[in-house]
Structure 1
Amino acid sequence: MLATSKIASSKTIPEQKTAYSILFMIGLCHLLNDSIQAVIPAMFPILQKSMGLTFTQIGFIGFSLNVVSSVLQPAVGWYTDKKPLPYALPFGLTLTFFGIIGLAFAPTFLTIIIAVLCIGFGSAIFHPEGSRVAYMAAGNRRGLAQSIYQVGGNSGSALGPIITALILVPLGQFGAIWFSIVAATAIGLLIYIARWYSTTLTFLSAKPKQKTGGLETGLSFSKAIKLALLIIVILVFARSWYISSITNFYAFYVIEVYGYTISQSQLFIFIFLAAGAVGTFFGGPLADRFGKKRIIFLSMIGATPLAILLPFVNPLIAYGLVGLIGFILMSSFSVTVVYAQELLPGKIGTMSGLIVGLAFGMGAIGSIAVGSLADIFGLTSTIIAIGFLPLLGLLTYLLPSDEEVETWNT
């Protein structure tokens, strides 16, 4: 079923029908985009060995990738809320295409940073507009739609360890060149999506504008929304720092403590991210049924005891624990985005860019902070300390209920 033909023939409101073909396509593009990004942390052990990089330098590479997305995603979302740009999607992947080619040939630490910045720019453009496409195609299944979109990204991230074991270990840094094909494929799909996006915008522009609540409904609501957003920021901080620590540094912990090889250590990261992708998918439908606030709380608090226990178990148990932590913790990823969008329904791109961009940004800061702590206090002590981060999920109690947010927007 093509969404464009549905719109043209039935003249129904796009928000009331779920365009599954577009949702699965934008989810696939998200997978392709984030699999390219996964190349960068997947290369960390290889770059450390071949270039003699410190943990702090590795942290700066992660910072370079993520901070650009953090700064630009909300700005891109804010601008496209005012003036949507459907063809920004393939343009963003074109930047990523050139970045991945640059990464494959980069001879020095500085040129790696430049290539990674280019990939970060492409990601900053793709993510807010991709989330808007998911929102437009969602109908009344916003949790499910955002899960389909986000599970694509998390699945792409989960490919990082497989990329390392099958491509980067045997081929080295130059193996990244194969992902230029992935970028080119995504560009072609996004051109098709951009056409649907443009057609849907034309149809929506003919509809009478609906008045939304949120900040326009009064000063008390404005203060409540600001408090809710502050809490969401703290929750994203806790989740992103923990995820960044596991994806960027847990492989080094496995090599150091368990005596595993680079390829063997990557299996732990794959299990963590693959289980997280599954959790992301289930989180949205569960939130549609049981409420977003409840799922956000359960994902953070449910992961806490497992995260604290992880550094003290043997390798066999660690396999199971990293999977459970990934599933539980990331089940709230898409739910947090939808919750923020519904706080300010007239600012879909801004909220998507803020929350997803914030996740990248917090991960960026976490990369440097955790890397520096590992250099100073040792890797084992650092991994133990970050296990307590999900405890900040207790702040979810202070968030307004789903029903209260709904009343603000009516």
Structure 2
Amino acid sequence: MRDYQYSSSGDSMRHTYNTKITGAISGHFLIDLYTPILPVILPLLIVNLGLSYFLAGLVVTVFNVVSSVTQPFIGLYGDRTGKWVSVPFCVLIGSVGISLSVLANNYLIVLFLVGGAAVGHALFHPSAMALVHKLSPPAKKGLYNSIFTTSGSISYSLGPMIAGFFITFGGLPSVAWMMVPGIVGAAWIYRNDRRTGTVEPIKKEPVEKKQVHGKYWWIPAGLVVTVCALRAWAYVGVITYLPTLLLLWNQGIDTFTVSVIITAMLFTGVFGQVAGGYLSDRFGRKKVLVLGFLCAIPCFCLIFLTTGWTMYAGIMLYAFFASFCYVASVTMTQDLLPGSVGFASGLTLGLSMGIGGVGAALIGWVADVMGSLPDAMFLLIIPTILCPILALFIKYSDKPAAVAEE
């Protein structure tokens, strides 16, 4: 582990900071490239290893639980000690683990490799986010954080299409070649870290003594996290099983086409994320949260109650509105837990996604029991409907940022 520290000592030091920030942003692009590969390879693992829907979903569950549930605790430890795991190490094990899982002919080995990759993801995100936050110029922290987040969202969208390309032209084992960018990128980031060396310390920013909003501050914060978890349950469940649904339950569609559909879906989610963040600043976060969830409900229904272009439109619109709420929910939790930004982010970005992964395995089990994957997936309408209902009860000062600053 190393201490990422900060000082302002001229152009040379600023160049050092920018180099390290670039490494963190590049690392985020690389490591998030591998996460969405799992849903694309699941249909082939089901066939090759003879897996049930539950065991297939458990692969995603293991990844999400290990990589996400641990993040709040890693963030809390880092916030208190200032010590973080090196970015290139996280990128290396995160990329290699996922890529090698396609070569395994044993289910337990697949779980081991995926779990190892998840460790890299769990350590990376709090470390890299802390690095970007501490080394960014005070006037540009929002900009740098936005670039960092978007870099991961873009690569997350590209991952399925790249994996689909390899599978189409080289079969499932060829996906292992995707480890090459991760290895090369980790080496490049490590080389730059070695050349720039360590950076000087900064005095810790004073934390406001008042760190809670009222006596029962944990109620609104807990409601936001609960809504995030329900959203993640539905969204992760759709992303996890949609490739299998399209490949095994629809005729005349191939792996590459499915991967393009998933990539388009995830890219639409990126646009939804940006739009939701912008509108939440202008009109209020709670309003955006409730509106996004309400719009997601009919879009979700289109996926399972229609066919053809209407179904595909439902997929894209659902991804847009499910992601539309993303930034608002994260920022609301940070506002409700001042002085614990790292912990708050870990709850919304980590813990909630881990719960979503557990939900994916549950949907797989239900599909095995019902004998129908589409019927089991449609049950995700329940958490989708609960989201706007619970969001209405969140006690939050919903003033637009522009008004609040006046």
What's the TM-score bracket when you normalise by the shorter of the two chains?
Answer: 0.7 to 0.9
**Aligned match of 1:228:** 220
**Aligned match of 1:240:** 232
Q: What are the superposed Cα offsets for residues 15-59 of structure 1, whole Å, 9 maximum, x if unpaired?
A: xxxx99877764443221111122222211121122221111101
**Aligned match of 2:391:** 396
Question: Secondary structure of the equivalent of 2:379?
Answer: helix
Shift of residue 69 of structure 1? 1.5
**Aligned match of 1:57:** 55
Greater CA deviation, 138-147 or 75-84?
138-147
Residues in 2 aligned to 1:83 and 1:257: alpha-carbon distance in whole angstroms: 51
TM-score between the two structures when normalised by the length of structure 2: 0.84
Work out whether residues 285 and 332 of structure 2, in 8 Å CA contact, stay in contact via their aligned partners in 1: yes
**Aligned match of 2:208:** 211
Distance 1:367 1:106, change over 3 A: same
**Amino acid in the other structure paired with 2:113:** A
Verify: 1:387 aligned to 2:381, yes or no. yes
Matched residue count = 390
Greater CA deviation, 366-375 or 392-401?
392-401
Distance 1:353 1:195, change over 3 A: farther
Alignment of 1:367-386 (within 5 A): 367-377=360-370, 378-386=372-380
Shift of residue 347 of structure 1? 1.8
Q: What are the superposed Cα offsets for residues 314-367 of structure 1, whole Å, 9 maximum, x if unpaired?
A: 221222221111112112223322322232232222222222112331222112
Question: Secondary structure of the equivalent of 2:34?
Answer: helix
Residues in 1 aligned to 2:142 and 2:276: alpha-carbon distance in whole angstroms: 8
Distance 1:134 1:390, change over 3 A: farther
Greater CA deviation, 35-44 or 143-152?
143-152
Q: Which of 302, 309, 312 is the aligned partner of 2:302?
A: 309
Greater CA deviation, 352-361 or 54-63?
352-361
Work out whether residues 269 and 322 of structure 2, in 8 Å CA contact, stay in contact via their aligned partners in 1: yes
Shift of residue 121 of structure 1? 0.3
**Aligned match of 2:404:** none
Note the residue ranges of structure 1 that are not aligned, 5 or more in a row: 406-410
- Sequence identity, in percent? 23
Distance 1:48 1:104, change over 3 A: closer
Question: Secondary structure of the equivalent of 1:401?
Answer: coil
**Amino acid in the other structure paired with 2:343:** T
**Aligned match of 1:181:** 180
Q: What are the superposed Cα offsets for residues 245-277 of structure 1, whole Å, 9 maximum, x if unpaired?
A: 211112222234431233333333222111012
Verify: 1:9 aligned to 2:10, yes or no. yes
Residues in 1 aligned to 2:156 and 2:364: alpha-carbon distance in whole angstroms: 20
Distance 1:9 1:387, change over 3 A: same
Residues in 1 aligned to 2:117 and 2:378: alpha-carbon distance in whole angstroms: 31
Work out whether residues 280 and 327 of structure 1, in 8 Å CA contact, stay in contact via their aligned partners in 2: yes
Greater CA deviation, 356-365 or 19-28?
19-28
Work out whether residues 281 and 331 of structure 1, in 8 Å CA contact, stay in contact via their aligned partners in 2: yes
Verify: 1:345 aligned to 2:338, yes or no. yes
Distance 1:281 1:203, change over 3 A: farther
Residues in 2 aligned to 1:182 and 1:247: alpha-carbon distance in whole angstroms: 24
Question: Secondary structure of the equivalent of 2:339?
Answer: coil
Greater CA deviation, 137-146 or 168-177?
137-146
**Aligned match of 1:408:** none
**Aligned match of 1:258:** 250
Residues in 1 aligned to 2:367 and 2:88: alpha-carbon distance in whole angstroms: 38
Question: Secondary structure of the equivalent of 1:37?
Answer: coil
Distance 1:97 1:269, change over 3 A: closer
How large is the RMSD of aligned CA atoms in angstroms?
Answer: 3.3
Distance 1:278 1:186, change over 3 A: farther
Shift of residue 370 of structure 1? 0.9
Residues in 1 aligned to 2:25 and 2:374: alpha-carbon distance in whole angstroms: 36
**Amino acid in the other structure paired with 1:170:** F
Question: Secondary structure of the equivalent of 2:9?
Answer: helix
Residues in 2 aligned to 1:299 and 1:141: alpha-carbon distance in whole angstroms: 28
Q: Relative to total residues, which structure has the larger helix share, 1 or 2?
A: 1
Question: Secondary structure of the equivalent of 1:345?
Answer: coil
Residues in 2 aligned to 1:175 and 1:273: alpha-carbon distance in whole angstroms: 23
Distance 1:189 1:77, change over 3 A: farther
Residues in 2 aligned to 1:367 and 1:194: alpha-carbon distance in whole angstroms: 41
Question: Secondary structure of the equivalent of 2:216?
Answer: helix
Shift of residue 154 of structure 1? 2.6
Q: What are the superposed Cα offsets for residues 262-306 of structure 1, whole Å, 9 maximum, x if unpaired?
A: 333333322211101222233333333333222222221221111
Residues in 2 aligned to 1:195 and 1:285: alpha-carbon distance in whole angstroms: 38
**Aligned match of 1:30:** 28
Q: Which of 264, 271, 294 is the aligned partner of 1:278?
A: 271
TM-score between the two structures when normalised by the length of structure 1: 0.83
Work out whether residues 27 and 87 of structure 2, in 8 Å CA contact, stay in contact via their aligned partners in 1: no
Residues in 1 aligned to 2:124 and 2:368: alpha-carbon distance in whole angstroms: 34
Distance 1:325 1:82, change over 3 A: same
Distance 1:335 1:89, change over 3 A: farther
